Amino acid sequence: MASTEVETVSTPLDKIKVGASIALLVAALAAFYLTGKQGALVQWGLLIAGLVAAVVVFALSEPGKQLIALGRDSAREVRKVVWPTRKEAMQMTLYVFGFVVVMALFLWLTDKTLEWVLYDLILGWKK
């Protein structure tokens, strides 16, 4: 049986890029809170600009590229899914509800039977 090994290659430059994106994120949040007296437009502008810069720097790193590739692969797989029709979804939902009701009745009946056997027959405790 063949084993597949996952090999991650992380260069020092990629680590610097990820660290820079985290630093940009922290700086954006700090700028948002420190510029409260200068108006909401300045606050939100600095926050959005910092977040965009952080995302761009992260996207240029190898982990960012891998994350983007994962997103593309996931979207491609979702397009391959054969979704059920409304009728099929309703039928399956009714099957699940029916099974839940049958299981609930079975468990209730089992519980009451065991209660009757243990408390009434074996121990002789009358309620």
Calpha distance 121→46 (Å, rounded)? 76
Calpha distance 54→24 (Å, rounded)? 5
Residue 68 CA, chain-centre distance (Å), reads 17
The residues spanned by each domain of the chain are: 9-81, 84-127
pLDDT in tens, 54-99: 999 999 999 999 999 999 999 999 999 999 999 999 999 999 999 9
The token pair that represents 58 in the structure block:
């992260």
Q: What is the largest CA-CA distance in the chain?
A: 80
pLDDT band at 8 (very low <50, low <70, confident <90, very high): low
| 8 A C-beta contact, residue 65 and residue 18 | no
Note if the pTM is more than 0.75.
Answer: no
The token pair that represents 19 in the structure block:
């660290």
pLDDT in tens, 9-19: 678 899 999 99
